């Protein structure tokens, strides 16, 4: 995946990081960046990442940035279950998005 998007580090945010940390570490090794203060989904974590990149002279095209979600949100899962579609996670990603 990292070769496909041309990156050498992966930053993981969210409350599932601690639960899946061993899988992430096995898969990404030293490429994984996920300090504990990023484990709870907060806008400040994204701002902190943006500030660090900006200070290093790394700029992104704001109109082309898109997050890659590991699984659907709880609301999407509940809705899919209510509609009888399952809705458990990566197997139900929209738009063919990979479940990395």
Provide DSSP, 11-34: E--STTTTTTHHHHHHHHGGGEE-
46 vs 98, higher pLDDT? 46
The pTM for the full model equals 0.42
Contact call for residues 2 and 8 (beta carbons, < 8 A): yes
Residue 63 carries which DSSP code? Answer: T
Point out which residues pair with 11 in neighbouring strands: 33
Both tokens assigned to 45: 């974590």
How far apart are alpha carbons 6 and 91 in whole angstroms?
A: 25
pLDDT tens profile 38-85? 777 677 777 888 888 899 998 888 888 777 777 788 888 888 888 886
């Amino acid at each position: 995946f990292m070769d496909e998007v041309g990156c050498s580090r992966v930053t993981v945010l969210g409350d599932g990081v601690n639960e899946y940390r061993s899988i992430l570490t096995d898969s990404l090794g030293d490429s994984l960046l996920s300090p504990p203060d990023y484990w709870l989904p907060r806008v400040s974590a994204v701002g902190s990442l943006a500030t660090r990149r900006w200070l290093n002279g790394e700029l992104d095209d704001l109109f082309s940035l898109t997050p890659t979600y590991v699984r659907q949100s709880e609301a999407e899962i509940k809705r899919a279950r209510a509609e009888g579609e399952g809705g458990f996670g990566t197997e139900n990603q929209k738009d063919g998005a990979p479940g990395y």
